[in-house]
Amino acid sequence: MHDLPFVTPIQVRWRDIDAKNHVNNATIVTYLETARTELWRHQFGGGIDIPFVVARLEVDYRRQLTIDDEVRVGLWIEDLKGASYAFVYRIEVNGEHAADARTVMAHIGPSGRPSRIPPEIRINLETLLRS
The packing angle between helices 25-44 and 119-126, to 10°, is 110
Q: Please indicate, yes or no, if residue 91 is contained in any of the structural domains.
A: yes
Q: What is the mean pLDDT of each run of 10 residues along the chain (131 residues)?
A: 93 92 92 94 80 94 93 96 96 96 94 90 92 68
**Residue 81 is assigned to a structural domain of this protein:** yes
In a domain, residue 26? The reply is: yes
Q: What span, in angstroms and rounded, lies between the C-alpha atoms of 124 and 126?
A: 5
Residue 10 inside a domain? The answer is: yes
DSSP SS3 for 22: coil
3-state DSSP assignment of residue 114 = strand
The structural domain count of the chain equals: 1
Are 12 and 31 in contact, with CB atoms under 8 Å apart?
no
Residue 42 within any structural domain of the chain: yes
Residue 107 sits in a domain whose CATH number is 3.10.129.10
Residue 53 inside a domain? The answer is yes
Q: Could you tell me the pTM of the whole model?
A: 0.91
> Does residue 1 lie within any of the structural domains?
no
3 state DSSP class of 12: coil
Domain span including residue 97? 6-126
Flag whether 131 is in a domain: no
